[in-house]
C-alpha cells in the first residue's frame, strides 16, 4: 500500500502514520470493504459488479467458467468447462460441429404422479445429493444467458423472422410437410395422452411404463427443443406450461440412470439453452441431484438403476446376472453432467463423470476396444463383447462431442475417441462381398457379421470427427462415414416399406437384410436419418437429402395412423402391423434431424425442373407428385402410376404368383450355387484406351475395378426357385411364358439413364435379383431399353420334374456417386433349371452369358449429371459370366413321419449323402428350338423369316415379289448391329 506523506505528520512508523491515525484509517478501510462485498453478494445478481471486484478469468474468451472446489482442483489433462457455443470463428453455416446438444436414444421411456414444490425439496434433500441451497424453489446460478446467446455463431432456429413470405420451393414444401407431421404427432399426444410418457395411437391412450421411477411427461420434455426449432410456438408454450405446472419430482420408483439423463435432463438442458427460461434449468439440476446415488459404488462407476425413494442402486438383472454396468449408459453422462455443474455451480456432477473417464483411461482394453460390460465393484470387464450398436453406441459419440463442446480443449476425450475409432476400424469394420461397408460385433475375437440400427449413427459420428483427425486421415474418415451411411441406407432400400430393420446381417449371400422376424421391426428410430443429416451438412451432396426424404415418405405411408405415429413389426411387409407406440425420440430426434437436413440450409437452390413443377402443380400437388415419383427423376412412369391407377379404377390385377415368406424349415432342401467370372477384355473395346475419343480413366473406373464376382458362392432354398415353374395349365413344350414381363412399349419409351441404384425387386424379380447380385451388387432386373424381362419355356417333362429353359435381359450399373452412371448390358443371360413340380427339389441349375460370339456386352456411360448429358457407347467381350449349382438340393436334416431326427448334416458342414435316381423324361424339346422360340418372344418381329441379302433377292426373283430390307440396331446377342 502506498500512502503519500503529508506535511505536519511525523513518521512514527514505517507506514508514515501514527498509531491513532492508523487505527482510524483501517477502520474506514474495513467499512469500505464490507460495503463493497455486501453489494457483491447481497444485492441482485450482476455480472458487472462481479467484474469490478472479482479477479479476471484466465481461460480463453467465450468460455463460461465452472466453479472449482478449492479442495478438488482440475487435474492436468482434464477437460475445460463445457462451452455450448465456442467463440472461435465459424468454418461455415453448416459446420457439423456446431450442434447445440446431442442425445442418443435406445428405445423406451415413461413417468407419473404430480407433486408440489415442498415435496420436491424434501425428496432432493433425502436423495443423498450435495445440497444446492434452494431458496423458494430456485437454484442460484452465475450463468449469464444473455452473454451466452451473444456468442452464438448463428441465430437460434425458432427465433428467426417470419418465414411465411419465403419463396415457394421444393425444400420449403418438404420442410412444411415435416412440420405438419410434428404438429400432428404432438397434437395426437396432447389429445390422448398428455402428461403420460408416451402415446399409444391405436388404443388412443397413454403409456407410463417403469423406466423412469414414476416421472411422467417424457414426450413433453423430449419434444421441447424440436417444437422450438420448428417454430411451433403455440405447441412449445403448451409444453412449457405443462413443465411449469405439472412436472413434479417427488417420485419414489426405480429409474434408469441413462434414460432419465438423456431424455429428461438432456431435454430440459436443451430447452434452457434455447430459451433461457429458469424453469428448465432448475428442474434439470434438481433431477440431476436425484440421480447421484447411482454413483455410490466402490469404483464410482454408476449402476444402471437408482431408487428415488431409498437412494439405493442396482444393476440391470440382464446385465451379466446383475453384476455389470453398461458402457453406453455410464459412458453417456458426460455432456449433461458437465452442464449441470456449469448451471448450478455444484462441482459434484463434473467430479462424477471425470471419475468415469479416469477408470476407463486406466483399465486395460483388449486390442484397444471397449467391451460393453464393466463391473462397478471391481472395475474389471465382465465380458469381451464389443458393439458400436446397442450397449456401446453413445459412449463413442459422447467422446467426440465432449471434445467439440469444450471448444476443442478436452484433449483426453479427443485422444480416447481417435484411439477407439482406430481399434474399431482395425477389428470390426468389414466390407461385404457385395461391397457394403459395415461395423460387425466382436465377441472375444469372433465376429458377428451383423449391424444394428443403433449402430447407424456411426456414419454421422465419423463424419463429425473427420475434421479434427490427423490430416492424412481426414479424407479417409469422410469416405468411411459415407460408406457406412450408404450401407445403412441399403438396409432401408432393401425392405418393402423403405424403413430399416432393428438389425441386419451379412451372410449366406444376403446382405443388409434381417434374417429373422424378431429383428425385422422398426420403432421410429432416428440413427439413419441422423447420419444423413451430418453427411448432408458436411458434403451438401443431394443424395442425402433424397434419402432423407424417402424416409419421411415411408414414415408417412406406413407409420402414420389416425391418432399418431407408430412403429411397425415387419419392414418386409407392405401391410405391416403397428406396435401401438409413438416413441418420444421420434419427436425429439427423427423429425428433428429430418428438418435439419431438409429445411434450414440455403446453400442449394432447387433445380429448375422442380421449381417449374411447383409453379405448375402448387404445394399440395407437388407433394402428391413427389409421393408417386419414387425414383425422384421428376417423371411418373407407368410402374410408379400403377398404385394410384388401381385406387382410381378400383381394380387390382391378380397375380399368379405371390412371393412366399415361409419360416426357415431345417428339413427343407438347399443348394449351393457357385459364381464363375472373368472380367471383360479391355482390348475388345474400341474406346478403352485412356484419352481415346475423350474416354477418361475415371469414366471406366467401375468397369476396371470389377474383376471378381461379388459373391463367389451362395446358398439358396429350393423353394426360392418356384418362380421358374410354369403358370397353371401352361405345360406345352416350347410355349413361352413371362417370368418377368416387359413393361416397355411405344407408350413408355425407355427408363432413365441417370440412376445409380436399382429399385427393390418385387415378386418373381427377387430370385432373379439375388442370382444376378452374385456377379455385382447393383443389377437392374428391368433394363432401360427393350428387350426387357425374363421369358421361359419347358424343354422336358416327366412325372415329377420339369426342365425349364429361360432367357433374361438385365444390366448392371457399375459406378457410384460422384462418378456418373456406367451401364453394363450383357447381350442376354440364358440357362436352364431342372426342378420338381412342387419346387421342393432342384436337380440342376445353370445361368450364363453366351460367349461363342466375338462381342457379347454393350456399355454406355454418361458424361454429366442430367438425363440429357452426353452418353458414350461401346461394345466388348466378356469371357465368362456364369452361375452353376454344385449339385442337387439336399436337406440339412432327415425326419421320420413323426418328426423325429433320423440323420443330419455333419458338424464339419459336409452335406448328407444321397443317391439320386435318373429322371425318365416323357417329352423333350431340343435346346436350339427352345432358344429360337424364346428369341421370338423377346423380338416379336422375328416371327417373320429374315434372309441374307443375296438369298432374299434370289427368292424374290423366283417368286416375283419385292424385297423389304430392315436394319436391326441394338440386338447385340445375335450380332445384327
Any idea which residues carry the catalytic annotation? 259, 393, 502, 527
Looking at residue 104, the DSSP 8-state letter turns out to be -
Greatest distance between any 2 Cα atoms in the chain: 151
Residue 533 burial by CB count (10 A; 0-12/13-18/19+): exposed, middle or buried? buried
d(C-alpha 593, C-alpha 581), whole Å: 20
Selection from 850, 833, 816 nearest residue 768 by Cα: 833
CA 671 vs. chain centroid, Å, equals 34
Q: 170-193 vs 608-628: helix axis angle to the nearest 10?
A: 40
CA 684 vs. chain centroid, Å, equals 42
In sequence order, what are the residues at sequence separation of 6 or more whose Cβ sits closer than 8 angstroms to the Cβ of residue 483? Answer: 436, 437
d(C-alpha 91, C-alpha 87), whole Å: 12
- Mapping DSSP onto H, E and C, the string for 219-232 reads HHHHHHHHHHHCCC
Q: 3-state DSSP helix/strand/coil percent for the chain, to nearest 5?
A: 40, 15, 45
In sequence order, what are the residues at sequence separation of 6 or more whose Cβ sits closer than 8 angstroms to the Cβ of residue 640? Answer: 628, 629, 630, 631
d(C-alpha 102, C-alpha 81), whole Å: 17
Residue 450 burial by CB count (10 A; 0-12/13-18/19+): exposed, middle or buried? buried
- In this structure, are residues 329 and 263 in contact, taking their beta carbons and an 8 Å threshold? no
Alpha helices (runs of H) in 264-374, residue ranges in sequence order: 266-275, 278-291, 327-330, 334-344, 348-362
d(C-alpha 431, C-alpha 546), whole Å: 24
Apex CA 617: angle with CA 611 and CA 623, to 5°?
85
- Phi, psi (deg, nearest 5) at residue 595: -70, -40
d(C-alpha 370, C-alpha 392), whole Å: 8
**What is the three-class DSSP state of 573?**
coil
d(C-alpha 155, C-alpha 230), whole Å: 14
Extract the C-alpha cell encoding 229: 426449432
d(C-alpha 671, C-alpha 153), whole Å: 61
**What is the three-class DSSP state of 53?**
helix
CA 415 vs. chain centroid, Å, equals 26
Which residues in 543-642 belong to E strands, given as ranges? 560-561, 564-565
Extract the C-alpha cell encoding 386: 464389443
Looking at residue 447, the DSSP 8-state letter turns out to be E
**What is the three-class DSSP state of 86?**
coil
**What is the three-class DSSP state of 702?**
helix
Amino acid at each position: 500500500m502506498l500512502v503519500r506523506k503529508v506535511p505536519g505528520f511525523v513518521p512514527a512508523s514505517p507506514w508514515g502514520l501514527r498509531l491513532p491515525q492508523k487505527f482510524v484509517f483501517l477502520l474506514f478501510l474495513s467499512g469500505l470493504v464490507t460495503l463493497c462485498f455486501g453489494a457483491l453478494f447481497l444485492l441482485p445478481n450482476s455480472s458487472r459488479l462481479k467484474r469490478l471486484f472479482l479477479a479476471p478469468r484466465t481461460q480463453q474468451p467465450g468460455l463460461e467458467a465452472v466453479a472449482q472446489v478449492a479442495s478438488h482442483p482440475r487435474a492436468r489433462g482434464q477437460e475445460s468447462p463445457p462451452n455450448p457455443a465456442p467463440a472461435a470463428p465459424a468454418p461455415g453455416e453448416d459446420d457439423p460441429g456446431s450442434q447445440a446438444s446431442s442425445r442418443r436414444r435406445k428405445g423406451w421411456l415413461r413417468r407419473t404422479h404430480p407433486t408440489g414444490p415442498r415435496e420436491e425439496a424434501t425428496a432432493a434433500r433425502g436423495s443423498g445429493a450435495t445440497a444446492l441451497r434452494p431458496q423458494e424453489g430456485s437454484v442460484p446460478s452465475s450463468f449469464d444467458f444473455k452473454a451466452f446467446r451473444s456468442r452464438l455463431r448463428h441465430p437460434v432456429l425458432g427465433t428467426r423472422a417470419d418465414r411465411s413470405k419465403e419463396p415457394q420451393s421444393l425444400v420449403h414444401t418438404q420442410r412444411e410437410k415435416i412440420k405438419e407431421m410434428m404438429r400432428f404427432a404432438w397434437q395426437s399426444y396432447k389429445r390422448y395422452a398428455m402428461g403420460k410418457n408416451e402415446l399409444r395411437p391405436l388404443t388412443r391412450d397413454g403409456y407410463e411404463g417403469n423406466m423412469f421411477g414414476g416421472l411422467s411427461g417424457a414426450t413433453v420434455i423430449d419434444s421441447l427443443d424440436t417444437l422450438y426449432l420448428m417454430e411451433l410456438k403455440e405447441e412449445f408454450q403448451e409444453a412449457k406450461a405443462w413443465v411449469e405446472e405439472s412436472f413434479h419430482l417427488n417420485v419414489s420408483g426405480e429409474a434408469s440412470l441413462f434414460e432419465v439423463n438423456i431424455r429428461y435432463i438432456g431435454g430440459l438442458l436443451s430447452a434452457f439453452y434455447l430459451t433461457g427460461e429458469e424453469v428448465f434449468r432448475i428442474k434439470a439440476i434438481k433431477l440431476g441431484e436425484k440421480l447421484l446415488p447411482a454413483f455410490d459404488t466402490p469404483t464410482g462407476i454408476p449402476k444402471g438403476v437408482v431408487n428415488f425413494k431409498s437412494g439405493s442402486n442396482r444393476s440391470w438383472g440382464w446385465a451379466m446376472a446383475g453384476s455389470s454396468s453398461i458402457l453406453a449408459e455410464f459412458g453417456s453422462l458426460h455432456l449433461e453432467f458437465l452442464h449441470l455443474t456449469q448451471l448450478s455451480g455444484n462441482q459434484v456432477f463434473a467430479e462424477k463423470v471425470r471419475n468415469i473417464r479416469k477408470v476407463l483411461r486406466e483399465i486395460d482394453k483388449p486390442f484397444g476396444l471397449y467391451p460393453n460390460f464393466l463391473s462397478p465393484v471391481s472395475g474389471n470387464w465382465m465380458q469381451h463383447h464389443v458393439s458400436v450398436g446397442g450397449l456401446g453406441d453413445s459412449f463413442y459419440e459422447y467422446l467426440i462431442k465432449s471434445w467439440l463442446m469444450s471448444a476443442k480443449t478436452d484433449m483426453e476425450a479427443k485422444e480416447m475417441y481417435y484411439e477407439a475409432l482406430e481399434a474399431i476400424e482395425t477389428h470390426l469394420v468389414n466390407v461385404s462381398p457385395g461391397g457394403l461397408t459395415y461395423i460387425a460385433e466382436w465377441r472375444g475375437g469372433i465376429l458377428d457379421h451383423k449391424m444394428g440400427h443403433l449402430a447407424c449413427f456411426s456414419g454421422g459420428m465419423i463424419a463429425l470427427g473427420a475434421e479434427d483427425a490427423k490430416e492424412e486421415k481426414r479424407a479417409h474418415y469422410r469416405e468411411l462415414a459415407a460408406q457406412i451411411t450408404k450401407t445403412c441406407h441399403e438396409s432401408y432400400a432393401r425392405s418393402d416399406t423403405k424403413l430399416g430393420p432393428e438389425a441386419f446381417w451379412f451372410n449366406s449371400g444376403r446382405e443388409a437384410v434381417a434374417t429373422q422376424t424378431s429383428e425385422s421391426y422398426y420403432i421410429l428410430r432416428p440413427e439413419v436419418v441422423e447420419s444423413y443429416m451430418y453427411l448432408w451438412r458436411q458434403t451438401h451432396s443431394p443424395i442425402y437429402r433424397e434419402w432423407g426424404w424417402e424416409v419421411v415418405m415411408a414414415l408417412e405411408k406406413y407409420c402414420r395412423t389416425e391418432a399418431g405415429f407408430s412403429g411397425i413389426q415387419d419392414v418386409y411387409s407392405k401391410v405391416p402391423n403397428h406396435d401401438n407406440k409413438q416413441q418420444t425420440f421420434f419427436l425429439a430426434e427423427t423429425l428433428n434431424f429430418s428438418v435439419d437436413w431438409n429445411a434450414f440450409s440455403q446453400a442449394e437452390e432447387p433445380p429448375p425442373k422442380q421449381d417449374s413443377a411447383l409453379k405448375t402443380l402448387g404445394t399440395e400437388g407437388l407433394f402428391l407428385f413427389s409421393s408417386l415419383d419414387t425414383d425422384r427423376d421428376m417423371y411418373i412412369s407407368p410402374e410408379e402410376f400403377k398404385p394410384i391407377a388401381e385406387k382410381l379404377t378400383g381394380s387390382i390385377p391378380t397375380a399368379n404368383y405371390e412371393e412366399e415368406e415361409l419360416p426357415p424349415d431345417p428339413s427343407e432342401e438347399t443348394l449351393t450355387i457357385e459364381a464363375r467370372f472373368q472380367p471383360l477384355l479391355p482390348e475388345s473395346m474400341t474406346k478403352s484406351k485412356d484419352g481415346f475419343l475423350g474416354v477418361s480413366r475415371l469414366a471406366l473406373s467401375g468397369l476396371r475395378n470389377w474383376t471378381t464376382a461379388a459373391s463367389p458362392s451362395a446358398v439358396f432354398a429350393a423353394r426360392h426357385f418356384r418362380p421358374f415353374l410354369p403358370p397353371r395349365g401352361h405345360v406345352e413344350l416350347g410355349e413361352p411364358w413371362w417370368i418377368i414381363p416387359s413393361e416397355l412399349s411405344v407408350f413408355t419409351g425407355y427408363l432413365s439413364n441417370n440412376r445409380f441404384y436399382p429399385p427393390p425387386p418385387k415378386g418373381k424379380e427377387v430370385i432373379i435379383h439375388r442370382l444376378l447380385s452374385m456377379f455385382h451388387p447393383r443389377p437392374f432386373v428391368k433394363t432401360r431399353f427393350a428387350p426387357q424381362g425374363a421369358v421361359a419355356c419347358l424343354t422336358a417333362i416327366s412325372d415329377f420334374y420339369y426342365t425349364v429353359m429361360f432367357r433374361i435381359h438385365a444390366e448392371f450399373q457399375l459406378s457410384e456417386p460422384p462418378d456418373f452412371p456406367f451401364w453394363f448390358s450383357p447381350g442376354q443371360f440364358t440357362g436352364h433349371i431342372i426342378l420338381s413340380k412342387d419346387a421342393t427339389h432342384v436337380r440342376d441349375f445353370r445361368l450364363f452369358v453366351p460367349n461363342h460370339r466375338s462381342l457379347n456386352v454393350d456399355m454406355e456411360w454418361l458424361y454429366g449429371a442430367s438425363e440429357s448429358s452426353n452418353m458414350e457407347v461401346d461394345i466388348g467381350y466378356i469371357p465368362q459370366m456364369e452361375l452353376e449349382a454344385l449339385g442337387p438340393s439336399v436337406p440339412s436334416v432327415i425326419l421320420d413321419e413323426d418328426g423325429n431326427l433320423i440323420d443330419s448334416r455333419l458338424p464339419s458342414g459336409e452335406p448328407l449323402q444321397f443317391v439320386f435316381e435318373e429322371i425318365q423324361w416323357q417329352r423333350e424339346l431340343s435346346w436350339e428350338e427352345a432358344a429360337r422360340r424364346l428369341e421370338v418372344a423377346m423380338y416379336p418381329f422375328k416371327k417373320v423369316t429374315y434372309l441374307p441379302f443375296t438369298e432374299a433377292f434370289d427368292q424374290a426373283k423366283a417368286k416375283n415379289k419385292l424385297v423389304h430390307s430392315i436394319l436391326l440396331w441394338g440386338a447385340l446377342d445375335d450380332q445384327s448391329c
